[in-house]
Amino acid sequence: MAGIVGYGVHIPIYRIKVEDIAKVWSEDAESIKKGLNIREKSVPGKDEDAATIAVEAARRAIRHAGIDATELGALYAGSESHPYAVKPTATVVSAGIEAGNKLMVADLEFACKAGTAGMQMIMGLIDSGMIRYGMAIGTDTSQGRPGDALEYTASAGGAAFILGKDKNGIIANVVKTVSFTSDTPDFWRREGASFPSHGGRFTGEPGYFRHITGATKLLFEETGMKPSDFDYAVFHQPNGKFPKMVAAQLGFTEKQIERGLMTPIIGNTYSGSSLIGLAATLDVAKPGQKILVTSFGSGAGSDSFAIEVTDNIDSKRKNLEKVMDIVERHKTYIDYSAYLKNRGSIRKT
CATH of domain 3-170+314-348: 3.40.47.10
Catalytic residue at 80? yes
Mean pLDDT of 310-314: 97
pLDDT reading at 150 higher than 60: yes
CA angle 232, 236, 238 (to 5 degrees): 135
| Catalytic entry in 80, 151, 308, 321 | 80
pLDDT reading at 202 higher than 90: no
CATH of domain 174-312: 3.40.47.10
94-98, 182-186, 262-266: range with lowest mean pLDDT: 182-186
Q: What integer pLDDT is reported at residue 169 of this predicted model? A: 96
Two domains, one topology: 3-170+314-348 and 174-312: yes
| Catalytic entry in 71, 112, 308, 321 | 112
Residue 66: how many other CB atoms lie within 10 Å: 14
* Angstrom distance (rounded) from CA 116 to CA 184: 19
Residue (of 163, 154, 184) closest to 80 by Cα position: 154
| Catalytic entry in 71, 198, 236, 308 | 236
Q: Give strand pairing partners of 198.
A: 187
CA angle 306, 308, 312 (to 5 degrees): 150
Catalytic residue at 48? no
Residue 96: how many other CB atoms lie within 10 Å: 16
Catalytic residue at 112? yes
Look up the pTM and report it: 0.95
Domain limits of the chain? 3-170+314-348, 174-312
Residues 213-262: pLDDT tens digits?
Answer: 999 999 999 999 999 999 999 999 999 999 999 999 999 999 999 999 99
What is the Cα 102 distance to its own chain's centre? 27
